[in-house]
Structure 1
Amino acid sequence: MMAVTSDYESIAPDDYSDEGPCNLDPNPIEVITQTYIHSIICAFGLIGNALVIVTYIYYKRAKTMTDVYLLNVAVADLIFVVALPFIIYNEQHGWLMGMVACKILRSAYSINLYSGMLLLACISGDRYVAIVRARRSFGARSRTLIYSRLICSSIWVFAVALTLPTVIYTELFEEQTLGAGSGAMMCQLRFSMNETAKLMKVLVPSLQMAIGFLLPLSVMVFCYSSIVCTLLRTQSSKRHKAVRVVLAVVVVFIISHLPYNTALLSHTVSLFKERSCEEEKIKLQVLAVSRTIAYLHCCLNPILYAFIGVKFRSHFQQIMLDLWCFSKKYIHTVRSSHGTSDVCTTARMSSEGSNNMSSFSA
């Protein structure tokens, strides 16, 4: 059994200073624990991001640049949480799906990483313009939805382009086991030349750290620092609440992604050095734990960026109310159904009449 691994964490068996083969497979307890945690991530990530998408499509609509960015973040996270259980199952039971599914599923994390992180940076930039540069941007943001869609499209194309090495070098092959004629089917990266392997094992993790973490982090720190300074100069209690929201967004981002990127950097630096088998096992365990923590961010994004908003919560409540009304329509009599319809109409009008929110409430 194998744990879910990132694209470029594998190494050659002759990289170790120990004599004899080095078994890097995790023990069954680690695999079971990781499977349960990933299942929880999938469940909450699927529910949270699906609700965000449904709310924006059927109720709230994308009216600002931040709305467009949030909708695309939810789509990116949803792609990953849908792909994750298929990856887990196939890695633990031998890859049962074909080559196309192998390449697509293996690329899901990379696409989510680049697109999701860059979109979060765009959200921080839009909030910076809306609050710090409020006078200059007054009335302009609602008229620039076309630009936000172009930016999102460019980010998706850029994310796919950065994922091409994974698509190109991921192959479906049969693992050869000692003393046996055949083994399980594997879906992993394979390189025909050592020079290519060395280049990709350094280049791709470096791009992940630079574009998928350091660049968004730098943008977020600058924008949110400026936003906090601006908000602290006001005397509104709502503004000070917004400061706590900003701090929560930045802290959660750092806690989620800094451990994995630090572990990935350490692992990449040591890839071409001789090291002991035990040392490599410890590094891979740290990578596995920190990677799982990074996965949690796709569950937290809906809470940090969507459900925290007053207007978004009102639209979400409208979804729940409409579902309740829909069920009542087919369960109760015509008379009670008519009464329920009146309640729904009143609630919808009340929900639509609530428009007050800060730039931090999507």
Structure 2
Amino acid sequence: MDGWIFSTLQTLWSNQSTPDHVHSLEFLHTANGFSITMAVLHLVVCIMGLVGNSLVIVAILKLDKMSSATTVYIFNLALADGLFMVGLPFVAFQNFQNEWIFGDLACKLVMVLDGINQFTSVFCLTVMSVDRYMALVDPLRFARWRTPKRAKIISAFLWLFSLLPVLPMAFHFSVKYDLCMADTFMMNWWMTFLSITFVVGFALPFLVMIIFYTALVMTLRCARQRDGGSSTPESQRLEKQVTKMVVAVVVVFGVCWLPFYVFNFYSLHNKNVQLVFARGFEIAVLLSYSWSCANPILYACLSETFSRHFRSLLCPHKNVTSTHCNRDTEGYDLRDTNGQDITVLA
């Protein structure tokens, strides 16, 4: 969907008729330091996203075999993020060359897949926040809700649900003026769609993540206080690790996606688009794509399980202990703090 709305910005800009706007438009589409830098950054983000998410997918299929609900969600998250990167070169080419050369069918297909993968990625991360709460607070109580089979059913539903807000846009996207863009006469409808997208694709998921992650951290702290302030090194490490995970996931999600929506709403309310704003808009779009290559980095840094999996894949000659989660109750039971494996993201 990032490509959709950047195309809309190009349309808004192209509709400006003053000499200053024409000069700015020509300057934007001239090969200069900024455009070349953005093209390189698009390439870097695309490569990092494809490589990082491919490593996650291979690690799950080869070493974990989706043996837990959590890794099922992470597999679908990595798949959506990886596919999200596939559409990036097409969008980057249009933004850099101000031209779409791939045909009308490719225009519709790229934009629809772009939106589906974006929504699925956000929904998977949101479901994972609920899953982490159930796994770490009371894994035995929620065991029947956290089987790999149920996780696969929920993941399939997330993919189908992501299709609903996106599919209608395929009928309103086509190649016009050598650009892949939406119908410009439907701006009121577009504003409604953007509002729904903001609520469903950012505001509600962000709120759910904050609620469940906050509840998770507070539950861990309350458990420590119930023990009279005395806690084992293992439980202290868990609380510290979970807190880092909560802060990292929420901050990265907000930083990568909030500027994207701010620029979108501003561009629809203010059609007097300036060069500086358009460049900032392009940076915001790139930032939203970079979120998909940030997720594997979070796994590597915050998940001990995935750190071992990555080391095993990248350095197979070294003796790395294989780690598998319990099929139904992987996580950390607050009622038993002795000898359990701590897995925050996996």
Q: TM-score range by the shorter chain?
A: 0.7 to 0.9
Cα deviations by residue, 1:227-272 (Å, 9 ceiling, x for unpaired): 111122333222222212211111111111122222222223335x
Give the gaps of 5 or more residues in structure 2.
225-230, 327-339
C-alpha spacing 1:109/1:268, structure 2 compared with 1 (3 Å) = same
The residue that corresponds to 1:56 in the other structure is 60
Amino acid in the other structure paired with 1:72: N
The residue that corresponds to 2:221 in the other structure is 232
Structure 1 vs Structure 2 CA RMSD = 2.8
Distance 2:324 2:16 in 1: 66
The residue matched to 2:93 in structure 1 has which SS? helix
The residue that corresponds to 2:188 in the other structure is 199
> Please, which of 282, 303, 320 is the counterpart of residue 309 of structure 1?
303
Cα deviations by residue, 1:178-217 (Å, 9 ceiling, x for unpaired): xxxxxxx4322235xx3xx123320222122111110110
1:291 counterpart = 2:296: no
Distance 2:87 2:108 in 1: 11
The residue that corresponds to 1:126 in the other structure is 131
C-alpha spacing 1:113/1:97, structure 2 compared with 1 (3 Å) = same
Q: How big is the shift at 1:91?
A: 4.9
Distance 2:297 2:254 in 1: 16
Provide the identity percentage.
Answer: 26
Residues 70 and 305 of structure 1 are in contact (CA less than 8 Å); yes or no, is this contact kept in structure 2? no
C-alpha spacing 1:7/1:148, structure 2 compared with 1 (3 Å) = farther
Q: Which moved more, 1:243-252 or 1:209-218?
A: 243-252
Give the gaps of 5 or more residues in structure 1.
176-184, 325-343
Q: How big is the shift at 1:67?
A: 1.0
What TM-score comes out, normalization by structure 1 length? 0.77
The residue matched to 2:66 in structure 1 has which SS? coil
The residue that corresponds to 1:358 in the other structure is 342
Residues 91 and 186 of structure 1 are in contact (CA less than 8 Å); yes or no, is this contact kept in structure 2? no
Cα deviations by residue, 1:23-56 (Å, 9 ceiling, x for unpaired): 5352533221110111110111111000001111
Equivalent residue runs for 1:1-362 within 5 Å: 6=6, 8-12=8-12, 18=18, 22=22, 23-24=24-25, 26=28, 27=30, 28-93=32-97, 94-134=99-139, 136-137=141-142, 139-142=143-146, 144-173=147-176, 175=177, 185-190=178-183, 194=185, 197-233=186-222, 234=224, 235=231, 236-239=235-238, 240-271=240-271, 275=272, 279-305=273-299, 308-322=302-316, 347=319, 350-352=321-323, 357-362=341-346
Q: Which structure is richer in relative contact order (CA contacts within 8 A, separation 6 or more)?
A: 2
Residues 57 and 75 of structure 2 are in contact (CA less than 8 Å); yes or no, is this contact kept in structure 1? yes
Residues 241 and 302 of structure 2 are in contact (CA less than 8 Å); yes or no, is this contact kept in structure 1? no
Q: How big is the shift at 1:303?
A: 1.9
Q: How big is the shift at 1:78?
A: 0.6
Q: How big is the shift at 1:8?
A: 3.9
Q: How big is the shift at 1:297?
A: 0.8
C-alpha spacing 1:133/1:190, structure 2 compared with 1 (3 Å) = same
C-alpha spacing 1:172/1:351, structure 2 compared with 1 (3 Å) = same
C-alpha spacing 1:54/1:213, structure 2 compared with 1 (3 Å) = same
Distance 1:32 1:85 in 2: 14
Distance 2:211 2:314 in 1: 38
Distance 1:71 1:10 in 2: 35
The residue matched to 1:187 in structure 2 has which SS? strand
C-alpha spacing 1:305/1:354, structure 2 compared with 1 (3 Å) = closer
Q: How many residues align?
A: 315
The residue that corresponds to 1:334 in the other structure is none
Q: How big is the shift at 1:292?
A: 1.6
Distance 1:263 1:12 in 2: 13
Runs of 4+ in structure 1 deviating by more than 6 angstroms, as ranges, are none
Q: How big is the shift at 1:223?
A: 0.5
The residue matched to 1:291 in structure 2 has which SS? helix
Distance 1:108 1:225 in 2: 33
C-alpha spacing 1:361/1:11, structure 2 compared with 1 (3 Å) = closer
C-alpha spacing 1:47/1:307, structure 2 compared with 1 (3 Å) = farther
C-alpha spacing 1:167/1:294, structure 2 compared with 1 (3 Å) = same
Amino acid in the other structure paired with 1:189: A
Q: How big is the shift at 1:285?
A: 2.4
The residue matched to 1:296 in structure 2 has which SS? helix
Distance 1:353 1:116 in 2: 24
Amino acid in the other structure paired with 2:181: Q
The residue matched to 2:141 in structure 1 has which SS? helix
